[in-house]
Amino acid sequence: MTPLQTLATASLGLALMTLPLAGMAQEAPESDPETGLVMAEGWETVRSNCTACHSASLVTQNSGTRNHWEYLIRWMQETQGLWEFQEETEATILDYLAEYYGPKEDTRRPALPRTLMPDNPYPTVADSG
């Protein structure tokens, strides 16, 4: 091998070695094996306040905006005996829920473009002109 080839091989090896690291950095945080809650900032506060009356899976199966979560908390406070939170605690809980159990992305695929559709057998607005 020429020195240049050696260098090229070495840098390729280096590049390949750093690839998995780059991938890991983007991975989502792990979930707690016991509750299933995403182990990110605030999760312990959620665990200690939101799993006393029902399973954490009720939390992890739900999703929605910060407003949705706040509405649920108010509902549980008014009708289910959920305690009042300190402002800071509530903010931690809502931040966490909105971030990790936020509104689901629309799972419907976008409509097909006109060119991929079969011919429309019915007259359309375009034909009536």
**Which residues lie near ligand HEC (CB under 6 A)?**
49-50, 52-54, 58-59, 62, 72-73, 76, 80-82, 93, 97
For the bound state, the minimum distance from the C-beta of residue 84 to ligand HEC, rounded and expressed in Å, comes to 11
CB closer to ligand HEC out of 38 and 59: 59
CB closer to ligand HEC out of 6 and 62: 62
For the bound state, the minimum distance from the C-beta of residue 108 to ligand HEC, rounded and expressed in Å, comes to 23
Q: Which two tokens mark 42?
A: 């605030």
44, containing H or E segment = helix 43-50
For the bound state, the minimum distance from the C-beta of residue 68 to ligand HEC, rounded and expressed in Å, comes to 9
In whole angstroms, give the CA distance from residue 104 to residue 97: 12
Contacts of 60 (CB under 8 A, 6+ apart): 35, 36, 37, 101
Q: Which two tokens mark 8?
A: 């090229």
